[in-house]
A and B are shown apart, each in its own frame.
Chain A
Amino acid sequence: MKLAYFPGCKIDFYLKDYDTSFKSLMEKLEVDLVQLPFNCCGYPARSTSFEVSVFSSIRNFALARKYNLDIITPCKCCFGQLKYASYQWRENKGLKQKMDCLLADENLFWDGKTKVKHLLSFLYNDIGVLEIKKKINHKLPEKKIVTQYGCHALRPFTITGFDNPHAPRIFEELINITGFKTVEWSKSTECCGNPIYETNKNLSLKILDSKLKAALESGADHICTACTHCQIQYNDLSFQKQCRKYNITPVLFTHILDAALGESRKNNQAKKGCRNLI
């Protein structure tokens, strides 16, 4: 299977771990990733201009369409924005016309056929839980895990179609097959606070704090994320004094599944990430 890999802006600089473990995971699942010269998904521009944000996404779609590939992304904000933009492009005729003109200026076009997949939805829908379960050769210890779903993939449901927005279960199912045990908690579908980190840091950390408190109450050892922005926000724990008191570490879903699928020989960095877990 061949897919266009959409890493998102932040991953390369802030979270190289996610990038390497994602690639090693895809290699084990025999998925070919193609790197295209994608630009920003448009999510950060949403607060300044609706048009800009939609056009950024559509340009990425057009680029993937040129090579006849579907897009896979490990970031939930990118996933949400790409879905959102393609929805708006379909619904709004005036907008579509303008986008088409702008694309034509760059010798691109888009017919709406490119699909976008998030890492989790791809594993769940395209590969299948049973298929992955067969490949698992390393049972992980029974640690307690809480999941962080990520807002932009879940909502608005009519646009993203990711999972049930009120009681999602994809993430739990995917983790449970590795041996880790997921625990119910109240704030699984709530925001991590990252979107306003740059502007209102105080509030952003307050929200993070409330989430950690809830996670601690549920008795979890780790918070599992599958989104670049959420992971960056939780990684920030180690730098913020007020959050250090919680003994909960954030882990990337790719590290967990990568460890369960057996150590990779080629990729040293991914291997290190796996070992930390076991």
Chain B
Amino acid sequence: MPKLKLSLNLKPALFNTIFQSKLFCASKTRWVIHFLVFAGFTFLVFFHALDELTSFNLFQYYQPTLDPFQFLRNLAGFLVLTGCIGFLFRRLFKTRINRENKTKYKEIFSIILILLVIISGFMLETVKIISEPAFLEMVEDYSDLDEDTDLNALMTYWEKNYHVVFKEMLIITEDTLEKGRLLNDAYCLDCHSKIKSAFVSKTFAMHLGEIANSLNHYRADNWLYPIHYLLSFLMLICLPFSRFFHILMIPFASATHKMTSRHFQKETVSVHPATFAACTNCGICSEVCSVYPNFLITKNKQILPHSKIESAGKMIFSGHLNPEALNQLQLGNDECTMCNNCTDICPSGIDLQGLWKTLPQTLQKMGYPDNYTFVKDKALQERGKKQAGRTYELTRNLAGRVYSFENCVQCTICTNVCPVVAYAGNDNDMTPQQIMNLLRLGEKQMAAETRMVWNCLTCYLCQEHCPSEIKVADIILELRNISNQTAGRLKIMTATNKANKL
């Protein structure tokens, strides 16, 4: 990895973290669903889970059962619930480009964990609403009712207005209700707002029917507490190991400075490897990738940014990649045209293009240099001979057909106009006309592995000037394709041999 420099840019980080501005630009539907969950859950964490620290200090008369807190809590839970259902729906019924099932299950696990936390919360509220024992405890703690008639009156009022479920049948009359209302005003109203604001839990409570009594009997309100707590802590524990990690990493990734073209030209590109972890594997980058059609033909998944970043992360952090996968990664990264589309759109704010620029250096250290360096460093010609005789399936196959080069009269015009021959000096080995000669001798593989094939500028001067109308530049390009394939194969061979020796 290149040297690490950390300079943070806070404004886009805040903007992207709080409003998910980049996701909004990328896809409106995804933003709506994501924001529902984000907004709801953030509210719940700060004003409900941490209420000892926040709400009690901020609001003088705070009670969880008072409006507007009761209503807002229900609303937030409802938003998260709808968002999660949207998440699940999209994961189950929408197919995205080249997503592995493993990532899908990982995400579904996280979504279900959120759902469980929210549903257990709602269930807890529901059983607290209907709980008779809880009601009686509260009466004992907060009122000084002595007579049974008073208690009866309050019970009738609460059964009717707060949906508490009592074991024994209560006789409701106008008088008792009125008395209950007065007692409610005196003792309860300070801490208990009308139940209709808890619109989700109230609906659950109204539809419990027969189960309500048995729930009261077994004190469901007492044992649902630890379940809700446990689930919440489980989520906290999973934070660094699951998809939830992006919550922490996205602010960081969005804050790091993006590389500009100036950095690229001065070759001072550095990207912090921790930004890898911010990737949520959403695949939006692959939808806008300039070289997506390359994937359609070569079927190399490592062309697509979202697969590439996953493999790159694996390679750098744990090194669990086999030679074949590393080679694919190198080839895939080679196809990148540096169009910056992925960095522009990435909702996590990762500087993807900077990453692609630094990746070759890391790959080189692991024994996977780019094909040009590989050809230059090692005498490919020596090894190539052993490999010769393999057939290549190409659509044109100019280099393999005699008619495409048999007319060459070795007039050296191509060599004379070639800028590579003119300026490369020792950096070059063959001239275009010599390559044609090699082809005529049947040494296709040898021709493919000359330096000339890799140095060619593809300026087509040779082809334009050739008096025999030989497609010199096209042939050289085709030889380069062949050379690319050979280099890939050889790299895998070397790496496997090395691994076997170890």
Contacts and interface: CB of A to CB of B under 8 A. Distances in A.
A45 to B, nearest CB: 6
Contact of A50 (B394, B423, B458): B394
A118 interface: no
Nearest to A58: B293
B4 interface: no
A42 B339 CA distance: 13
B27 to A, nearest CB: 14
A199 B372 CA distance: 6
B480 interface: yes
B291 A45 contact: yes
A203 to B, nearest CB: 5
A59 B289 CA distance: 14
Size class of the contact patch on chain B: 35 or more
Contacts of A165: 464
A49 B460 contact: no
A59 B459 contact: no
Interface in A183-241: 189-191, 193, 195-196, 199-200, 202-203, 206-207, 210, 235-236, 239
B396 interface: yes
Contact of B297 (A10, A51, A235): A51
B481 A48 contact: yes
A193 B454 CA distance: 13
A56 B394 CA distance: 17
Contacts of B290: 9, 39-40
Contacts of A12: 339-341, 344
A52 interface: yes
Interface stretch (B30-38, B117-125, B155-163, B330-338): B330-338
A181 interface: no
Given A56-B294, A239-B266, A210 B461 contact: no
B464 A156 contact: yes
Contacts of B464: 154-157, 165-166
A127 interface: no
B499 interface: no
Contacts of B288: 37
A9 to B, nearest CB: 3
Contacts of A42: 293
Nearest to B398: A50
B484 A48 contact: yes
Interface in B326-372: 331, 334-335, 337-341, 344, 353, 370, 372
Interface string A11-41: 0111100000000000000000000010110
Interface in B239-286: 261, 264-266
Contacts of A207: 419, 423, 457
B458 A195 contact: yes
Most chain-A Cβ atoms within 10 A of its Cβ — which of B370, B373, B477, B481? Answer: B481
Contacts of A51: 297, 394-395
Contacts of B335: 44-45, 48
Given A9-B338, A12-B339, A190 B265 contact: no
B463 interface: yes
A189 B461 CA distance: 9
B420 interface: yes
B292 A39 contact: yes
B291 A49 contact: no
Contacts of A98: 395
B337 A40 contact: yes
B337 A239 contact: no
A202 B427 contact: yes
B430 interface: no
Given A45-B335, A207-B419, A155 B463 contact: yes
B interface, over-half SS: helix
Given A9-B339, A46-B477, A199 B297 contact: no
B315 to A, nearest CB: 21
Contacts of A49: 294, 297-298, 481
Contact of A236 (B265, B298, B473): B265
Given A9-B337, A37-B288, A165-B464, A193 B457 contact: yes
A259 to B, nearest CB: 23
A151 interface: yes
Given A50-B394, A207-B457, A13 B353 contact: yes
A49 B331 CA distance: 11
A168 to B, nearest CB: 12
Interface string B457-482: 11111011000000101000110110
Given A45-B294, A46-B477, A50-B478, A210 B423 contact: yes
B455 interface: yes
A52 B427 contact: no
B296 interface: yes
Contact of A102 (B297, B420, B423, B471): B297
B372 A206 contact: no
Contact of A200 (B289, B337, B455, B460): B455
Nearest to A80: B460
B64 to A, nearest CB: 50
B230 interface: no
A87 to B, nearest CB: 11
A47 interface: yes
B424 interface: yes
Most chain-A Cβ atoms within 10 A of its Cβ — which of B464, B471, B478? Answer: B464
A155 to B, nearest CB: 4
A10 to B, nearest CB: 7
A95 interface: yes
A271 interface: no
A152 B394 CA distance: 23
Contact of A155 (B261, B339, B370, B460): B460
Contacts of A102: 296-297
Nearest to B477: A46
Given A48-B335, A202-B427, A203-B423, A151 B461 contact: yes
B453 to A, nearest CB: 9
Contacts of B458: 46-47, 151-152, 195
A9 B266 CA distance: 20
A92 interface: yes
A55 interface: yes
A42 B298 CA distance: 13
B284 to A, nearest CB: 13
A156 B460 contact: yes
B480 A239 contact: no
Contacts of A155: 459-461, 463-464
9 contacts: A9-B338, A45-B291, A46-B458, A48-B480, A50-B394, A50-B481, A151-B458, A166-B464, A203-B455
The 4 closest A-B pairs by CB, nearest first: A9-B339, A155-B460, A191-B459, A13-B340
Given A9-B339, A50-B478, 5 more contacts: A12-B341, A47-B481, A151-B460, A152-B460, A193-B457
